[in-house]
Chains A and B, each alone.
Chain A
């Protein structure tokens, strides 16, 4: 079983729609859950993170973690064409250790 799994997509949505992304993981020691956005041939850009279970909102983005089911979600409200990118979940076990990236989900927002 892969440590972190994401549906690769592509996920195509019309502008203004809600984008729903998710990730599952197997390592129960993960404590911090990061979401990165990556444009083609660019470096990952940190969007937001959550610690342990719960929800966190930052502007149009909401991250949710359910540690009991090892399930991570990211929601993007009012999606824009500029949100078209690959979204990577990256959990980690501690505050300085390696990030364990999923393969990423490609999102396409059409005008």
Chain B
């Protein structure tokens, strides 16, 4: 069964450093998303991406964040200058041409900012 994959599973970085989180969505999907979940809190929407551009972004997704689909398979989230409060699980999701918004999530990348 197709699945969303994410790398790395765990990333440790120093405050102020840049990180890139990588995702491979399900191959025939068209809509791509990033969410995050701070430990003990709810899953929060960051950004959605369709047709090579951002469809929607939350207020969390400020100028320090960017997304890219550099080729036909990868979808990346870049945090330019990490802060302590960026420590969280980051989930990538994708959905296809379905009547409903059936988003399938990857296993997540745990980002720890020291």
Q: Using CB atoms and an 8 Å cutoff, list the residues of chain A in contact with chain B.
A: 32, 34, 36, 41-46, 49, 51, 88, 90, 92, 94-104
Q: A44-B105, A49-B102 are in contact. Are A88 and B31 (CB under 8 A)?
A: no
- Residue pair A97, B42 in contact (C-beta under 8 Å): no
Which residues of chain B in 30-52 are interfacial with respect to chain A, using CB atoms and an 8 Å cutoff?
Answer: 31, 33, 35, 41-45, 48, 50
Find A34's partner among B44, B101, B106 (CB 8 Å cutoff).
B101
Task: Identify the closest chain B residue to A42 (Cβ).
Answer: B107
Q: A41-B89, A42-B107, A43-B107 are in contact. Are A95 and B43 (CB under 8 A)?
A: no
* Chain B residues whose C-beta falls within 8 Å of the C-beta of A45 in the assembled complex: 105
**Cα A103 to Cα B105 with chains together (Å):** 17
Find A92's partner among B55, B89, B101 (CB 8 Å cutoff).
B101
Find B48's partner among A43, A88, A96 (CB 8 Å cutoff).
A96
Closest CB-CB distance, B32 to chain A, in whole Å? 10
**Cα A98 to Cα B91 with chains together (Å):** 13
Find B43's partner among A46, A51, A101 (CB 8 Å cutoff).
A101
- Residue pair B100, A51 in contact (C-beta under 8 Å): yes
